[in-house]
Amino acid sequence: MSAVPLLDVRDLTVEFATRRGTVRAVRKVDLCIAKGETVGIVGESGSGKSVTSYAVMRILDRAGRIAQGSVAFSGVDLKAASEREMRDLRGREMSMIFQNPRAALNPIRTVGRQIEDVLRQHALAGSGDLKQKAIDALEQVRIARPEERYGAYPFELSGGMCQRIVIALALACRPQLLIADEPTTGLDVTTQKAVMDLVVELTAERGMSTILITHDLGLAAAYCGRVVVMEKGEVVETAHSSAIFRAPAHAYTRKLMRATPRPGITLRDLLPEDAEHPPAPAAPAASETLLSVEHLVKEYPRNAAGAFARLLRKGGEEAPFRAVDDLSFEVRRGESVGLVGESGCGKSTTSTMVMRLADPTAGRIAFKGEDIGAVPASAFSHHPLRSKIQMVFQDPSDSLNPRYTAARAIADPILRFGAAKGAAAVRARCEELARLVGLPGELLDRFPHQLSGGQKARIGIARAIALDPDLVILDEPTAALDVSVQAIVLNLLADLKAKLGMSYLFVSHDLNVVRLLCDRVIVMRQGRIVEQGAAARVIDDPQADYTRELIAAIPHPPVQEVTHV
């Protein structure tokens, strides 16, 4: 490590003034980053990892302030720096990449102009070579045909492409420090790999230091030299990334590591080591077909323009876009099937059609022998089979009505289908369901905003199983949850399936999670099935190139050492 570190954070304490008094988001954090070093800050939500970086950039919101400690950037005290000095530092000396690339770009300016704005702001280019420099910047982040993309608006580009533009913006002024705050959350694994490889390569090329803030230990281990683990505002462990996996010193690091899905383990391995767990339920024997999807097709018109625009356009109609293209698969009773693919592959469209929230263009959806695809989605809410197909949604917060208590949310299907009569019976059923999903009874009268993410996920599950459905569609049910909560929810889902004999159709982009929960996997790409088969077979011995590519893109923490800690 060089004599003067690039960034030296000592004793940093950040406080937020809230209605309920002062909250300490970050407590006495020490962080030291040398020139050219890549450091990962890992932690679950609320661990203070983002707040730490905001404090370094001095972009805390109004209520927050640095209460204690010092932040020095190549010898300059940032805590004492004026807003004017900070403005000069931000972008030129240190810059940041945020989680949602689309939100970070101005939607009404072309990406080329946005890069020019940054260059002009820091007087790094004259008006003559401005455009050329912007195009160079695009080229550096490997954007194909940069001259064309220069004039593109953010909405015309994919998520991965937008994140590359954000990186181009962040690196345009050759800063010394790059803070990447969950730069790949929300991107597909293959895109994640491309973006992370790009960041690492560019920063290494320029001798920059990088702070990678992430909830994903595997990602941090794969790309960072050193990992800092944070919990509840405190740094619990700092170590080299290889060392942290070989011998995690702190209990929290061990817990995080155990909870991270990885190859070669079972669902129970995700749970903390200290508690006793009953053995995982065995996979049920194959039985009769519950859901059979045959030649399912969903088409969307390619251009939503009105009749007038269509009149003006010369030539014939464009062929409609096929989101789901001739899809056939089966789900047997008691089986869980994973539907895997990257965004835009048609997996969500398929699940919405099976769910009967959208109508297929062609094909048959046979559920318990009845063609439910023939019943229009708008009329299906009164269909007798409605109660037999239920769904657990991706975002537990978004899927709960903010004005319903937990009990009311769980009771909704019971009231609609009259599964129980009278307030007392409905309440009793709610309490029974809450017990089943492990939700403490006293939380039943709370509103969603008073509950944690894991508790909300449990309510969503309780609501889905309230009517004893035969098929539950799980739409990335753990994507919005922390890994430790995800571990618990996945185990809960497996137990419930064994207890109640339901079938799952598990929609996910995460092969590691799918392997843990599913018996069979269907890999989709561009609306078609690329490969299907037993989960272990598909993941350990993929036949299709695309499946291999997907599996290779998952950042793998060193596994073998972890399992016998």
Binding site for another protein (CB under 8 A): 16, 18-19, 63, 355, 357, 378, 381-382, 386-387, 390-391, 393-395, 398-405, 407-408, 411-413, 415-418, 421-423, 426-427, 445-447, 460, 463, 466-467
The per-residue b/e assignment along 128-166, b for 16 or more CB within 10 angstroms, e otherwise, is: eebbebbbebbebbbbeebeebbebebeebebbbbbbbb
**Smaller CB separation from another protein, 239 or 465:** 465
CB of 105 to another protein, least distance (A): 22
- Closest residue by Cα to residue 380 from 411, 348, 358: 358
Do the Cβ atoms of 501 and 374 come closer than 8 Å?
no
**Smaller CB separation from another protein, 381 or 543:** 381
**Smaller CB separation from another protein, 321 or 417:** 417
The conformation of residue 442, written as its DSSP 8-state character, comes to G
Contacts of 429 (CB under 8 A, 6+ apart): 411, 414, 419, 420, 466
CA 453 → CA 147, 215, 291, 399, distances in Å? 44, 15, 31, 12
CB of 306 to another protein, least distance (A): 12
**Smaller CB separation from another protein, 101 or 469:** 469
CB of 212 to another protein, least distance (A): 28
Beta pairing partners, 506: 338, 474
CB of 390 to another protein, least distance (A): 6
- Closest residue by Cα to residue 113 from 176, 167, 165: 165
Amino acid at the residue 416: R
**Smaller CB separation from another protein, 84 or 382:** 382
The pair of structure tokens assigned to 530 is 């690329």
CB of 217 to another protein, least distance (A): 28
CB of 405 to another protein, least distance (A): 5
DSSP count for the chain of H helices, then E strands: 21, 20
CB of 393 to another protein, least distance (A): 5
CB of 416 to another protein, least distance (A): 4
CA distance 46 to 25: 8
**Smaller CB separation from another protein, 109 or 421:** 421
3-state SS class at 330: strand
Long-range contacts of 423-432 (CB under 8 A, 24+ apart): 429/466, 430/462
Backbone angles phi, psi at 192, to 5 degrees: -55, -45
CB of 324 to another protein, least distance (A): 19
Amino acid at the residue 339: L
**Smaller CB separation from another protein, 191 or 348:** 348
CB of 540 to another protein, least distance (A): 34
CB of 402 to another protein, least distance (A): 6
- Sign of torsion, CA 532 537 538 541? negative
Do the Cβ atoms of 420 and 409 come closer than 8 Å?
no
3-state SS class at 18: strand
Do the Cβ atoms of 358 and 377 come closer than 8 Å?
yes
**Smaller CB separation from another protein, 168 or 493:** 493
**Smaller CB separation from another protein, 60 or 415:** 415
**Smaller CB separation from another protein, 74 or 452:** 452
**Smaller CB separation from another protein, 290 or 411:** 411
